[in-house]
Amino acid sequence: MPTQIAPGIHQLATDYPHVCGLPLWLHVIDAGSELVLLDAGIASTPEAATAPELAALGLGLGDLTLVVNSHAHPDHMGGNAVLKKHSGTRFAAPALEAGWLEDNDRLLTELWGTDPAALELSEGERTEILGILDDRVRVDILLRDGDLLPADRRLQVVTTSGHSPGHIAVLDEPSRTLFTFDDVQGRGRPFLDSQTWLAPLYTDVNHYRDGLNRLLELDFDVLVPSHGDPLDAAAGRRRIVESIEWVSDVDSFTRQLLRTRGSLTVRELAGELGTQLGDFGGLCLQTVQMARAHLELLACERLAEPRWHLS
Contacts to Zn ion by CB under 5 A: 73, 182
CB nearer to Zn ion: pick between 91 and 181: 181
CB closer to Zn ion out of 53 and 182? 182
Cβ 141 to Zn ion shortest distance, Å: 20
Nearer to Zn ion, 8 or 21 (CB): 21
Q: Closest separation between CB of residue 117 and Zn ion, Å?
A: 24
Smallest separation, CB 73 to Zn ion (Å): 4
Which backbone phi and psi does 269 adopt, to 5 degrees?
-65, -45
Query: Distance (Å, rounded) from C-alpha 167 to C-alpha 208?
Result: 10
Minimum CB separation of residue 306 from Zn ion in Å reads 26
* Distance of closest approach, residue 198 Cβ to Zn ion, in angstroms: 10
d(CA 35, CA 151): 9
Nearer to Zn ion, 254 or 289 (CB): 289
Q: In what order do the strands lie in the sheet with 177-181?
A: 155-159, 168-172, 177-181, 222-225, 231-232
Q: Do 140 and 82 touch, CB atoms closer than 8 A?
A: no
CB of 267 to Zn ion, least distance (A): 22
- Identify any residues that bridge with 181 across adjacent strands, giving them in sequence order: 225
* Cα distances (Å, whole numbers) of residue 227 to 13, 18, 26, 47, 186: 11, 13, 9, 20, 12
Nearer of residues 198 and 273 to Zn ion, judged by Cβ:
198
Taking the complex as a whole, the smallest distance from the CB of residue 107 to Zn ion amounts, in Å, to: 12
Residue whose CB is less far from Zn ion, 203 or 254: 203
Among residues 227, 233, 240, the alpha carbon closest in space to that of 26 is found at 227
Q: Which is nearer to Zn ion, 189 or 214 (CB)?
A: 189
**CA–CA gap between residue 226 and residue 229 (Å, rounded):** 8
For residue 235, give the H/E element and its range: helix 233-261
Sheet containing 26-31, strands listed edge to edge, beginning at the edge strand earlier in sequence: 3-6, 9-12, 26-31, 34-38, 66-68, 90-94, 141-143
- Relative to beta strand 222-225, strand 177-181 is parallel
Nearer to Zn ion, 204 or 272 (CB): 204
CB of 275 to Zn ion, least distance (A): 22
Give the chain's end-to-end CA distance (angstroms, integer): 54
